Amino acid sequence: MTQQADTTDATPRATVAVSVADAVAVVRLTETERRNPLSLETMRSVTDALRGIGARPDVRAVVVEATGPVFSAGHDLTEMVDRTLDDEREIFQACTEMMETVQSIPQPVIAAVQGAAIAAGCQLVATSDLAIAADTAVFGTPGVKIGLFCSTPMVAVSRVVGRKRALQMLLTGATIDAATAADWGLINEVVPPDHVVGRAHELARAIAQASPLTLRVGKQAFYRQIDLPQSDAYAEMAEVMATNAMTCDAQEGMTAFLEKRPPEWQGR
């Protein structure tokens, strides 16, 4: 795979940094002292970064990281006090757009969770396609404790851990540890704190070996079928596989397998 020089950009307040190297993009939350809140500015910056990455055929996987001891403490509550209804709507619309962008871009998105992921931070982890967490990380949706039920985090969390477990988190506001989060399906793996980023990038590099076309087809198909009735899902996915099989990359991949050689992807 061709090695790319690392490039980094940041927002004016340096709340988000973006870099790309060797087909893997990194979107990093950098507001360490404030526990990486998902402010309106930060959410829009993440969304813009992901949309830009999504348009890059040279990027095949994305890692979302954060600096400091906290992955994200959730929404910036200073933006939510003494505001108008339209102001509040703007915040949650921006949050929804960010979460939907995570799942709509063609590249798989991996969350590297080095510390606490709370409320909308937990939502971001649940929304990501894959997640690696430190064994010291904790996860929670504690909005009920401050009179603001975590309704938007509930959408993502309930879809990955199930109803009873999601309601336990939402109604009590209690955090769960990384081992429990893995057992419940909120995250994929638990590793020592100093291995989180390395393991996330290892996973990203493994994913990046695949055809970019195939990754796009597969990710989009997954989210289309996941909530369909089984018979509808099979009908739609059979058509997806049939059309996928006709692509140049699928033909190349199958031929290379039969000929016992590495495939040469064309992205079409």
In this structure, how many other beta carbons lie within 10 angstroms of the beta carbon of residue 142? Answer: 19
The two tokens of residue 35 are 């526990």
For the chain, how many structural domains are there in total? 2
Domain coverage including residue 249 = 212-258
- Residue 81 is given by DSSP the state S
In a domain, 265, yes or no: no
Tell me the Ramachandran region of residue 23: left when phi exceeds 0, alpha when psi lies from -120 to 50, beta otherwise.
left
In a domain, 252, yes or no: yes
CATH number of the domain bearing residue 158: 3.90.226.10
Would you report the helix, strand and coil content of the chain in percent, each value rounded to 5? Answer: 50, 20, 30
Torsion, CA 180, CA 117, CA 70, CA 30, rounded to 10: 140
Same domain membership, residue 141 and residue 25: yes
Q: Given this model, what pLDDT does residue 230 score?
A: 95
CATH number of the domain bearing residue 238: 1.10.12
Same domain membership, residue 99 and residue 189: yes
Same domain membership, residue 156 and residue 54: yes
pLDDT tens for each residue of the chain, 268 residues long:
334 445 445 444 579 999 999 999 999 999 999 999 999 999 999 999 999 999 999 999 999 999 999 999 999 999 999 999 999 999 999 999 999 999 999 999 999 999 999 999 999 999 999 999 999 999 999 999 999 999 999 999 999 999 999 999 999 999 999 999 999 999 999 999 999 999 999 999 999 999 999 999 999 999 999 989 999 999 999 999 999 999 999 999 999 999 999 999 998 8
Following DSSP, what letter does each residue of 16-68 receive, concatenated? EEEEEETTEEEEEE--GGGT--B-HHHHHHHHHHHHHHHT-TT--EEEEEE-S
Same domain membership, residue 226 and residue 161: no
In a domain, 264, yes or no: no
C-beta separation of 29 from 66 below 8 A: yes
Same domain membership, residue 115 and residue 29: yes
Q: Given this model, what pLDDT does residue 8 score?
A: 47
In a domain, 267, yes or no: no
Which strands sit side by side in the sheet containing 116-118, from one edge to the other? 70-72, 116-118, 138-140, 176-177
Give the Cα separation of 65 and 28 in Å (integer): 5
Same domain membership, residue 29 and residue 155: yes
User: For the whole prediction, is pTM greater than 0.85?
Assistant: yes
In a domain, 193, yes or no: yes
